[in-house]
A and B are shown apart, each in its own frame.
Chain A
Amino acid sequence: MSLVPPLTIAGREFRSRLILGTGGFLNHDVLAAALTASGAELCTVALRRLDPAARGSILDVLEAAGVEVLPNTAGCYTARDAVLTAQLAREAFATDWIKLEVIGDDRTLLPDAVELVAAAEELVDDGFVVLPYTTDDPILARRLEDVGCAAVMPLGSPIGSGMGICNPYNISILVERAGVPVVLDAGVGTASDAALAIELGCEAVLCASAISRAHDPVAMARAIALAVESGTLARGAGRIPRRRYAEASTPEAGLPVFEHREAAG
């Protein structure tokens, strides 16, 4: 039984604050095992051209695990392509939810802010529940919120980089000013990065490569799930303030006084 309160996005409750990205797993068996270990209730999937040689559908894996599908628009460079991809996803999976990605180039995979906001606005108007992958810029996050996004999903560092949260100050400013849930969406390299994201105030963590490309994906799925839970408890408990000098935890009062004599020579 989880000790942490549920995550709520667009009126839907999730017990788990870990959203699993399904990219990069060696095969469906490893994905299924990692899914169970992660406890995730929401999983991303992508859309690609039908491959006549493909064996088994990822949808069967997700259905057997009882998790919800969060389609993405990965690989889209323009608002136009992202909107069309989202509409295709709605047809394919019968869900209004979309993880909106509009990237600027294939080297950094960083979001294209201008195209992202345009696509988000169009999709919200079209009835989608939009969860945009964005930079850690608090102003851009506010713009996305203003056009009606149900959450904002800033990166900690570039997709698949495993660099963790490069600018925790931006993430905490973004969180303080956000009126919708903040989901850390990229850059997690290991469990401590996920705990930090939640301690900084993110409501959830979306994680793919850190799990799928770990030496042992199933163990890492469990580790990151525990880190997310741990971070949530720690945030609720309240960290102590940072200070530059020590503050003794042992009382000074009652400290014995020792008289030392010169040893007889």
Chain B
Amino acid sequence: MMVSVNGERHELSAGTTVAELVSSLPGAPDGRGVAVAVDGEVVPRGAWGAAELREGASVEVVVAVQGG
């Protein structure tokens, strides 16, 4: 299935969870300091393991940067 991750199209196998996606991304190995929104809704860290992504989902994965 295709999902959008930070604006880029990713081909993922059906049933991929948020936890699996995050651990597959370079730069976020342990998920520390990472937050995820799917289709404009925050997915709490505790729900990553159970949250399966759907075809066409729009995922934002964010981290801390310098600012303010």
Assuming the contacts A57-B33, A88-B35, asked whether A48 and B65 have C-beta atoms less than 8 A apart, the reply is yes
Closest 7 CB pairs of A and B: A46-B67, A44-B68, A92-B35, A88-B35, A72-B68, A91-B35, A52-B26
Is the beta-carbon distance between B68 and A208 smaller than 8 angstroms? yes
- Give residues 23-68 of B contacting A (CB, 8 Å): 25-28, 32-37, 40, 42, 44-45, 60-68
Roughly how many angstroms separate A52 CA and B25 CA in the complex, as a whole number? 7
A50 B42 Cβ-Cβ under 8 A: no
Chain B residues within an 8 Å CB radius of A71: 64
Which of B's residues lie within 8 Å of A, judged by CB?
A: 6-7, 25-28, 32-37, 40, 42, 44-45, 60-68
Question: In the bound complex, how far is the Cα of B65 from the Cα of A31, in angstroms?
Answer: 12
B44 contacts across to A, CB distance below 8 A: 91
Is A239 positioned at the interface, with any CB of B under 8 Å from its CB? no
Q: Within 8 Å of chain B (Cβ to Cβ): is A51? A: yes
The answer to whether the Cβ of A89 comes within 8 Å of any Cβ in the partner chain is: yes
Question: Do B68 and A21 have beta carbons less than 8 Å apart?
Answer: yes
Q: Could you tell me if A25 and B66 are in contact, using CB atoms closer than 8 angstroms? A: yes
Contacts of A44 in B (CB 8 A): 67-68
A46/B68 in contact, CB under 8 A: yes
Q: Say yes or no for A114: interface residue by CB 8 A criterion.
A: no
Report Cα–Cα, A135/B57, bound state, in Å: 38
Contact call B61/A99, Cβ cutoff below 8 A: no
CB proximity of B42 to chain A, nearest CB, Å: 4
> A57 contacts which chain B residues (CB < 8 A)?
32-33, 63-64
B26: shortest Cβ distance to chain A, in Å?
4
Interface size on A, residues (CB 8 A): 36
- Assuming the contacts A84-B40, A91-B42, A91-B45, asked whether A47 and B68 have C-beta atoms less than 8 A apart, the reply is no
Establish whether residues A49 and B62, one from each chain, have CB atoms under 8 Å apart when the complex forms. yes
In the docked arrangement, what's the CA distance between A74 and B68, Å?
A: 7
| A50 interface neighbour in B25, B32, B37, B67, Cβ under 8 Å | B25
Contact A92 B33 (CB under 8 A): yes
Question: Across the interface, do A58 and B66 meet the contact criterion of CB distance under 8 Å?
Answer: yes
Smallest CB–CB gap between A109 and chain B, Å? 11
User: A59 touches which one: B35, B61, B64 (CB < 8 A)?
Assistant: B64
**Which chain A residues (160-186) contact chain B, with CB distance < 8 Å?**
none
Q: Which of B6, B25, B26, B33 has the most chain A CB within a 10 Å cutoff?
A: B33
Residues in chain A near residue B37, CB distance under 8 A: 84, 88
Closest to A186 in B: B68
List of A residues within 8 angstroms of B32 by Cβ: 57, 59
| Nearest A-chain residue to B68, judged by Cβ | A44
